[in-house]
Structure 1
């Protein structure tokens, strides 16, 4: 599988979410657990729900208590998203573990899964920009501006997916190797966030 397959899975996830368009809708992943397809669908579902949580919290009339609740959901979602990216990278590490890199093999500043993370979010941008480019009650100027932005996003999708495919092909050929660093987020860790650990002293 390459990015063309994953883009279709992202699109399926986005379409499935918008059947209810509700951030509380439970995920119903159609793929077998443990497969890369399962991970890609799960990853995009997290991104899609978080996209809409970010919309909700920007409501200028939102109740402050509700805003705090949404902010904490977004923080939790960010951690879940990071965990899922690292899980996908672990899948790739295992997949390519039999490959012996060439002596002059290099590594990217970005792991495959973090590039795929950007591709997943890019697919959400494309979906929502398409909605805006065709929104009947928007002005013609708005639709034209969004159509121009959509074309740029689609070009970005082509460039990014090509780069990811090339990276994976290079890893498979031993021309590059994976080097993955855990994110080590500190604000969610009770032993590293001073606001949290000072409360226990």
Structure 2
């Protein structure tokens, strides 16, 4: 069951196959959880929202659309789901009131640490530089490099057009290259 294509896995889920649901849950829970934490910044809220999200998917499985690839659907649906949950939650609504178009994602240096000593400086500063990027650029970077989504899938997830994803990604990488070059010059 684990080696099935997304299309067959999704079809099996829609037909009520509990093992397909388990595979879907195991395959996507970690990356959706990390994405939810970036959006909500709250462990408990993220876990509750993700549990509710998967229950919702299973309970409404007969009404789900046919899909060839699952990731963009799950990321975009969960994004909307957790934003609604945050905005409905009185504890967060006053403070956060998230705009569905602008999710504020921040990175930690640990997310960029590699085992090569020569890149330690770059990795620590990369997180700092990424956090200085505009919100939309940070979210595109996160979905591209941490969730391994393609530009088309990012467009579906963020509900923006493909060219906007390409342009945003290009601007973000260009800004990061320029800032890293400046940092390297200063520390030379």
Q: Please, what TM-score do these two structures have when normalized by structure 1?
A: 0.31
Q: Pick 1 or 2: higher relative contact order, CA cutoff 8 A, min separation 6.
A: 1
Structure showing greater radius of gyration is 1
TM-score, normalised on structure 2? 0.33
